[in-house]
Amino acid sequence: MIARVNWVDEACRKTIDKIERTSLSIGASFPNGSAQGRYEKTPAHDWVSGFWPGLLWLAYEETNNVRLKELAVECERQISQTLWEFEQLHHDVGFMFGLSSVNQYKHIQDEEAKRHALMAASLLAGRFNPAGGFIRAWPNWGGEDHSGWAIIDCLMNLPLLYWASREIDDPRYRHVAELHADTVLREFVRDDGSVHHIVSFDPETGKRIGELAGQGHAADSAWARGAAWALYGFTLSYSYTGKEKYLEAAERVARFFLDHLPEDKVPYWDFRLPDFGKDTPRDSSAAAIAASGLLDLAVAVQGEESKEYRQQAEAILHSLYNHYGAWEADEEALLLHATGYYAADVYVDAPLIYGDYYFVEALLKLKKL
């Protein structure tokens, strides 16, 4: 137990210290993936824009460093401007505004940030297709018709709707969130606990058309980060609703995820690749997301299952810290060896801001436990 506490405390100290240092160069911008040791920046309307202010708030909680708070506030100001750029917004406003505006309201009682988050929740609810019972994914970018597409990642946007429902005592937002979660449970999760990335529906009738590979290897494969989103997302829906079906789904996905991990507890980017070799890319971001979800799952259940989920999360985080951390390297990011979008060759074997965010979030959860 002493050794455990020591490495967790050391890891938390190193991560927070590094965030304080890199905040000097990153400032109030929006990191995405890292190349040549530096985060590449993205516009405020990009789905990843909330993760840097989210990290700043995590570090602020630990340090009370006013400069970090001021950077997070400036990030939120820029993100809030996207509310008036409607055509640029998408299903991931939950990531964007949940980690920036909601956090800002919680930490400094900023009523304007609260309004921004509620506006974003209304936009997210407005993407709901009642014929199919799903929240539509992206706008029609790239010449593709996405009007009937739903994706597994969107489970992680539902907390914005649950929060809004509680904040203004309006059950509509919660109804939308639960209807989407029910559709994902029915249409995305296979019997063995693996999940699809994208499922396509007829946007007029709501009838299921079929699944798409998305960022996975194939339509019938098992994208590792998709499993992590599902594990964590269903756990969050259970925490907000208390509905056992979401807890059961989270445990089913967790079992698949854990049973298919390699020895070092960090998954290859897809669990069903035709070939695995020493050069097959890992996805440290999937490991970090899953670890944070597992710690919440450990709180949701009791007995031996709770103990196992906590131990597995700790083992994943310990491996990430020891074997994937960029502590000594000239690198702005925290975790190495993630995989963004393999088929498009986007950030393959590279650090990703959301991997960093969930790694720190999970570490701090473990420290508090």
Q: Tell me which residues are annotated as active site.
A: 92, 153
Structure tokens at 155: 């489970």
Alpha carbon distance 211, 356 (integer Å):
29
What does DSSP assign to residue 91?
T
Task: Specify the length of the chain in residues.
Answer: 369
**Dihedral over alpha carbons 322, 328, 332, 333 (to 10 degrees):** -10
Both structure tokens of 323 = 């074997």
If one counts every other C-beta atom within 10 angstroms of the C-beta of residue 46, the result is 18
Using the 8-state DSSP alphabet, how is residue 280 labeled? S
Q: In angstroms, how far is CA 169 from the centroid of its own chain?
A: 26
Q: What kind and span of H or E run contains 134?
A: strand 134-135
- Cα diameter, the chain: 59
Task: Give CA–CA dist 317/44, Å, rounded.
Answer: 29
DSSP string, 198-256: EEEE-TTT--EEEEE-TTSSSTTS-BHHHHHHHHHHHHHHHHHH--HHHHHHHHHHHHH
Q: Which residues lie closer than 8 Å to 75 by C-beta, 6 or more apart?
A: 28, 29, 30, 49, 52, 53, 56, 100
Structure-token match 């840097």, residue found: 52
CA 138 to chain centre: 17
Gap between the Cα atoms of 287 and 276, Å rounded: 18
In contact, 265 and 257? CB cutoff 8 Å = no
